Amino acid sequence: MTRPARRAAVAALSVTTAFALTACAGASSSGGSTATKVNVSTTVPNDPVTLTLAYTNDPPTKALIDGFTKKHPNVTVKPQMTPFNDYIKSIKLAMSSDSAPDIAQYNPGAMNSLVPAGLILDLSPWSKAYGWTTKFPPASLEVLSSDKSAKQFGTGSLYAVPGGLSVLGVFYNKKIVKQAPKTLAEFEAAMQKAKDAGQTPLSNGALQVGGFHLWNALLNVTGDVNDYRSWVYGKPGATIVNPAASKATQTLTDWAKKGYISAGASATADADALASFAKGGSAFLITGNWAASTLETEMKDDVGFFLMPTPSGEPAKVASGASVAYAISSKSKNPNVAAAFLDYLSSPEAAKIEFDGGFMPVDTKADLGATGLRGDIAGVFAPVAQGNGIVPFPDFASPGMIDKLTPGIQGLISDKMTPDAFLKSLQESWDAHHGS
């Protein structure tokens, strides 16, 4: 996740990119005053330039830096890695300092205070100059766009671009399940068959995010994507208290009562659920493509992947996902060079780096030559991403949403919370942030 930067002009330097385009960019404070003016250009100078890039534990960052600096050998990018929890707590202070990084990994949910504070640049002028709306999946840019208050997303200005994408789906053990289910009913039948055979149908780490990932996957195939996006993006009048969300929540509750969800799920961490599945402890595991490397190593050819099947059996058109995104600091002295790095993230060369690093590539049409488990994932991800069907996770809807989602799902699994009470609690968190 990175942050756009303020720029002291890099004037009269020779160009290494094919063309130059000049416009005006700025970072605005919540008061609306323009803190920084930048002459936007797609040129990269031949003179030496040094950038700093702050990031957290995501694997592709260093490899992407190496790819970019190989293309532009006069540019040095110094990485600054900070563990996730410390990064989230310290990034605003770091971006406010006189030594702010030029580029920073950016999470629009956890780090949206950087926008109203004017600490990252509006990337819209570079988006126009480079044609990013045709290079990056539209949904991946929507979630990184917001108004100046950073409360409503999918509108306003662009503040970051993705450097790797993810997708939520269902891993299955081929020794237990011979063929991926095509419908939601077939999926339920496969879980019942596993249970009847004395096996755990579905490993789940409801102690952390695994529980609401399960709920989200169900909502993706029972709900209306526009209604869901409106709610997650904070659009006025949106609500999660609706029939589709009620159906998804009731389905999860029913699965728990039928014994499909692993015993002790509410006390199980995501890593433990993953480990259990990898050792043959269950038939299914719902998580993201980031687990593929571990599962390939442990299970070899005995693991497959599919998106949560729809009730009708039609291929899923919606799936949850997120991005490793980068923004430019409003204090950067070289924002045009930083923007060139962001543009590189959409290239075919970067696509291979992103995929090898465990993420889905920004270039969704890239020929990855993937086989086996990664081939399964790439095969279902591409059409959904190209159809603008990747949606944010539900914790994105408000800063305190995850504190409602995790215990709420635990309550559903233990039958201590009703579906109606769960959805009401989510909407209360949404209303407190966005206004009812």
On the 0-12 / 13-18 / 19+ scale of CB atoms within 10 A, 285 is buried
- 224 and 244 Cβ atoms separated by less than 8 Å: yes
Question: How big is the chain by its Cα radius of gyration, in Å?
Answer: 22
* Contacts of residue 43, Cβ cutoff 8 Å, sequence gap at least 6: 13, 15, 16, 17, 20, 336
* Contacts of residue 160, Cβ cutoff 8 Å, sequence gap at least 6: 1, 2, 3, 4, 106, 108, 120, 123, 144, 325, 326, 327
- 432 and 398 Cβ atoms separated by less than 8 Å: yes
| Cα–Cα distance, 273 to 290 (Å, whole number) | 14
| Cα–Cα distance, 404 to 215 (Å, whole number) | 13
User: What are the start-end ranges of the H helices in 279-347?
Assistant: 292-299, 335-344
Tell me, what DSSP letter sits at residue 4? Answer: -
Q: What is the bridge-based pairing of β-strands 75-81 and 161-165? A: unpaired
Q: List pLDDT tens digits, range 289-340.
A: 999 999 999 999 999 999 999 999 999 999 999 999 999 999 999 999 999 9
> Alpha-carbon torsion 122, 139, 392, 60, what sign?
negative
* Contacts of residue 255, Cβ cutoff 8 Å, sequence gap at least 6: 188, 191, 202, 261
- 390 and 320 Cβ atoms separated by less than 8 Å: yes
Q: What is the pLDDT of residue 417?
A: 98
Percentage of the chain surpassing pLDDT 70?
Answer: 91
- 144 and 157 Cβ atoms separated by less than 8 Å: no
Q: What is the pLDDT of residue 28?
A: 52
- CA nearest 342: which of 59, 64, 113, 142? 64
User: What are the start-end ranges of the H helices in 347-399?
Assistant: 348-356, 372-386
Which regions of the chain are under pLDDT 50? 1-22, 30-35
Between helices 225-233 and 210-222, what is the axis angle to 10°?
130
Helix (H) or strand (E) holding 105: strand 103-106
For residue 58, what are the CA distances in angstroms to 47, 64, 109, 316, 385?
Answer: 30, 11, 17, 28, 21
* Contacts of residue 343, Cβ cutoff 8 Å, sequence gap at least 6: 42, 126, 130, 132, 135
* Contacts of residue 232, Cβ cutoff 8 Å, sequence gap at least 6: 153, 391, 392, 394, 396, 397
| Cα–Cα distance, 368 to 383 (Å, whole number) | 14
Q: What is the pLDDT of residue 24?
A: 57
Tokens in use for 385? 């991403």
- 242 and 222 Cβ atoms separated by less than 8 Å: no
| Cα–Cα distance, 248 to 409 (Å, whole number) | 12
